[in-house]
Every structure is written in structure tokens, then in C-alpha cells.
Amino acid sequence: MCLAIPVRIEELLDEQSAVACIGGLRKTINVALLDDLKVGDYVILHVGFALQKLDEAEAQRTLALLAELGQLAEAEQAARGEAP
């Protein structure tokens, strides 16, 4: 199952890539589809691509629900390319 998850932008590398925090893991992601990103912004990440910006409150609610459902660990494994 593919899952899109909220992630926080930790560092902007160039116009097409950034480092995002995914459950404590720092990963380089593609941000070419989005404009005006800043460090601290939350985005929806799907298969390595940031698809849209998300406000922090909504990101935190979504992450809390995923953690509650026990799916956040599975999503983090998928982001690292590991089998669940």
C-alpha cells in the first residue's frame, strides 16, 4: 500500500530538492512541484515527491492519527525503502 504522509522541511538544498524530517529520519525529497517552500513548512510526501503544502496543525493531526493507528512506523519503513 502506498501512503502519502506529512513531513517537515528541514533544509532547502536547491529548487528541486530539500531535506525532510520523517519520524526523526532525515531524507532528501523532490520539491520541484511546489513553489515558495521555507524551512519549517509541512508538505504531503508521496514516493519521494512533495505534492502540496499543508498547514502545521493539519500535519500534526494527521501524524497523530497515523501514530494512533500504528501506521507511522510502516510509513517510515516505506520511506526508507524497507519492507514492512
Q: What is the pLDDT of residue 27?
A: 94
Q: What is the pLDDT of residue 71?
A: 66
| pLDDT lower than 50: segments of the chain | none
Fill in the DSSP letter of residue 70.
T
CA proximity to 12, closest of 4, 76, 34, 80: 34
